Chain A
Amino acid sequence: MDAAIRNGHGMTKLDDLQFVAPDTAEVEIAFRNVTKRFGNLVAVDNLSLDIHRGQMVALLGKTGCGKSTMFNMISGLMAPSEGEVEVMGQQPFRNFNWYRGKMAIVFQTDRLLPWRTAVKNVEIGLETLGIAPAERRDRAMHWLETLGLKGHENDYPHALSGGMRQRVSISRAFATDAELLLCDEPFSALDEITSKRLRTEFARLVRENGKTAVFITHSIDEAFDIGDRIVVLKRPAEIAHDLRMSDSVSSEDREHIRRTIHASLAA
């Protein structure tokens, strides 16, 4: 199982690459023979995938490969046409409200409410959980400070830069202390330097806080920076490769994996 790149049709030993230990933690997200159709268009085709608690998984694929559809099914915004999607043992579309406080989303754009200050934006998830105002403020301030926004808590979104706004949205997701973080290309709208710095920070926070994170991206570099597991998707959302990355993978091996992924995506 180690040292292998698994593709949608079975296990293929490619090289002497080193990977992290096999998954032993509880399954957090399970796709079981999931198909999603929009009319005649098949967006996801008979997909089976387990994501385990504590994993940071990058779902990598070209535009239109069905990764956003997968994302919407995990978040409960969309139901599968066939098969089953289970998140924490429940079906997200059917039991939408069960996930209150258990799941938080970082979107592609910051989606800050313009009529709320930074700190009030961070508090929104806590308000839905019915947390007392003083505790809400403390938790929101803690995350804003953690993400380097001390002194900007009373600023309205229009007064913040793109990077600062995305930091507020990350604070908003972390503040609810949700077990599962879903991220839909959250840094793609930022410049390369800010994006790189934020994703490193984000990965560190996810690991330090023991969260499970699913990170959608079309950037191979981003997937490498973030994911301790990279699931490469081909059209229509079939698994092309399922890679477990570890720090011990040498830079040459990483380069080889990068080329392999690139070839898969280009095919």
Chain B
Amino acid sequence: MTDVTPSRRPYDNPAFGVARRLFWVAAPFVLIATAWQIASAFFPDFLFPSLIHVFARVFDILTTWSLFSSVLATAMRILGGLAGAFVLGAVLGLAIFSFKTADRLLTPTLTFFQGIPALSWVVFAIIWFHGVEFRILFIMVATTLPAFTFQIVGALRSMDKDLSEMVMSFRPSRRKYFSAMVLPAVLPEVVTAWKVNLGNASRVVVVAELVGSSGGVGFQLLQQQQLFDMAGALAWTLQLVFFVLLFQWVLSQFERMAFRYRAVSERG
């Protein structure tokens, strides 16, 4: 009699699936690291330092408070700037959405601001203000404000009219309407706006610190450039990348929790 029980193939095992996913997450980074390490064997250390050297510097930054405080300062500047731009953007976005005059005045102004390069804002800030922290906050807000405002206006305008009418049919107070309808409706786009602006802000803050600060990742990068220290430059850059990845992960966890009501296709 022939045994008809299908044999278990290795890729039917769930552990194999997890391993395969991990492999594909790690593969591009392993590829880049390998290429770098090979290059480090053929080029001088100030061009392509060994990864062992780079990771030693990364460890050094993470475990030395005077260095790690620079990373924290940059992180706080990014979050502070984003929070400021978000609050201001929300106010302006609501005004543009609610009042035609505000729309006519603010939309072209913000579009004009969007065209100004980040470096120009850095120069303006240095000329206009004295305090380093205020300069950086101003630059962060000025560069991310238009995007936040337009993303909030877009979210408000794309709110489902039928759902809004349903909530209005119960004659809610303004506060109730905002908490029951507006806030949950715009939240997904607000989170997306934070994710997009986080990347922009991390780039701008480095430029701002590079030119107008005596601390932070940008300032440290300037020091490495003056010393021609590629390992240091890479190590400080990785700190910023780690921070962005960490905050993106926090936002993703928030998304998973806050938007669990969404239907998930079984096809993924």
Chain A residues engaging chain B, CB cutoff 8 angstroms:
75, 77, 96-97, 99-101, 103-105, 107, 109, 111, 113-117, 124-125, 127-128, 156-159, 176
Is B131 in the interface zone, CB < 8 Å from A? no
Distance in angstroms from A239 CB to nearest chain B CB is 26
A105 touches B263 (CB 8 A): no
A176 to B171, CA, bound (A): 12
Pick the contact of A96 from B171, B173, B184 — CB < 8 Å?
Answer: B171
A107 to B166, CA, bound (A): 8
Is B261 in the interface zone, CB < 8 Å from A? yes
Distance in angstroms from A54 CB to nearest chain B CB is 22
B171 touches A156 (CB 8 A): no
Flag B157-182 by CB within 8 Å of A: 1 or 0 each: 00000110111011111001000110
Please, which residues of chain A bring their CB within 8 A of the CB of B9?
Answer: none
A127 touches B261 (CB 8 A): no
Please, which residues of chain A bring their CB within 8 A of the CB of B181?
Answer: 113
A159 to B259, CA, bound (A): 14
A186 to B58, CA, bound (A): 63
A158 touches B165 (CB 8 A): no
Can you list 17 A-B contacts with CB-CB less than 8 angstroms, sorted by A residue number?
A99-B171, A105-B166, A107-B162, A109-B162, A111-B162, A113-B163, A113-B180, A113-B184, A114-B262, A115-B184, A124-B170, A127-B172, A156-B261, A156-B263, A158-B261, A158-B262, A176-B170
B261 touches A100 (CB 8 A): no
B166 touches A128 (CB 8 A): no
Please, which residues of chain A bring their CB within 8 A of the CB of B262?
Answer: 114, 158
A128 touches B263 (CB 8 A): no
Please, which residues of chain B bring their CB within 8 A of the CB of A176?
Answer: 170
A128 to B179, CA, bound (A): 11
Given known A107-B162, A109-B162, contact A124–B171 (CB-CB < 8 A): no
Please, which residues of chain B bring their CB within 8 A of the CB of A115?
Answer: 184, 259, 261
User: What is the total number of residues of chain B having a CB less than 8 Å from a CB of chain A?
Assistant: 18
Given known A115-B184, A158-B263, contact A105–B171 (CB-CB < 8 A): no
Please, which residues of chain A bring their CB within 8 A of the CB of B180?
Answer: 113, 124, 127
Please, which residues of chain B bring their CB within 8 A of the CB of A109?
Answer: 162
A111 to B181, CA, bound (A): 12
Please, which residues of chain B bring their CB within 8 A of the CB of A124?
Answer: 167, 170, 180
Please, which residues of chain A bring their CB within 8 A of the CB of B163?
Answer: 111, 113
Please, which residues of chain B bring their CB within 8 A of the CB of A156?
Answer: 261, 263
Distance in angstroms from A173 CB to nearest chain B CB is 9
Number of A-B contacts defined by CB within 8 Å: 54
Distance in angstroms from A95 CB to nearest chain B CB is 10
B171 touches A100 (CB 8 A): yes
Please, which residues of chain B bring their CB within 8 A of the CB of A96?
Answer: 171
Please, which residues of chain B bring their CB within 8 A of the CB of A101?
Answer: 171
User: In the complex, what residue of chain A is closest to B259 when comparing beta carbons?
Assistant: A115
A-facing residues in B245-268 (Cβ within 8 Å):
259, 261-263
Known: A77-B165, A113-B184, A127-B180. 8 other contacts (CB 8 A): A100-B170, A105-B169, A111-B163, A113-B166, A115-B184, A116-B261, A124-B180, A127-B172
A128 touches B162 (CB 8 A): no
Please, which residues of chain B bring their CB within 8 A of the CB of A127?
Answer: 172, 176, 180
Pick the contact of A75 from B169, B173, B259, B261 — CB < 8 Å?
Answer: B169
Given known A109-B162, A111-B163, contact A104–B169 (CB-CB < 8 A): yes
A-facing residues in B82-140 (Cβ within 8 Å):
none
In this complex, the member of A97, A99, A124 whose beta carbon has the largest number of chain B beta carbons within 10 angstroms is A124
Pick the contact of B173 from A105, A128, A159 — CB < 8 Å?
Answer: A128
A-facing residues in B57-77 (Cβ within 8 Å):
none
State the 7 A-B residue pairs at the shortest beta-carbon distance, nearest first: A158-B263, A100-B171, A111-B166, A128-B172, A115-B184, A156-B261, A128-B170
Given known A100-B171, A104-B169, contact A114–B162 (CB-CB < 8 A): no
User: In the complex, what residue of chain B is closest to A126 when comparing beta carbons?
Assistant: B170
B171 touches A114 (CB 8 A): no
A115 to B171, CA, bound (A): 20
User: In the complex, what residue of chain B is closest to A176 when comparing beta carbons?
Assistant: B170
A116 to B181, CA, bound (A): 11
B171 touches A128 (CB 8 A): yes
B261 touches A128 (CB 8 A): no
Distance in angstroms from B261 CB to nearest chain A CB is 4
B170 touches A114 (CB 8 A): no
User: In the complex, what residue of chain A is closest to B180 when comparing beta carbons?
Assistant: A124
A75 to B165, CA, bound (A): 11
Flag B178-191 by CB within 8 Å of A: 1 or 0 each: 00110010000000
A96 to B6, CA, bound (A): 69
Please, which residues of chain A bring their CB within 8 A of the CB of B169?
Answer: 75, 103-105
A100 to B177, CA, bound (A): 13
Distance in angstroms from B158 CB to nearest chain A CB is 14
A107 to B163, CA, bound (A): 10
Distance in angstroms from B178 CB to nearest chain A CB is 12
In this complex, the member of B163, B171, B180, B263 whose beta carbon has the largest number of chain A beta carbons within 10 angstroms is B171
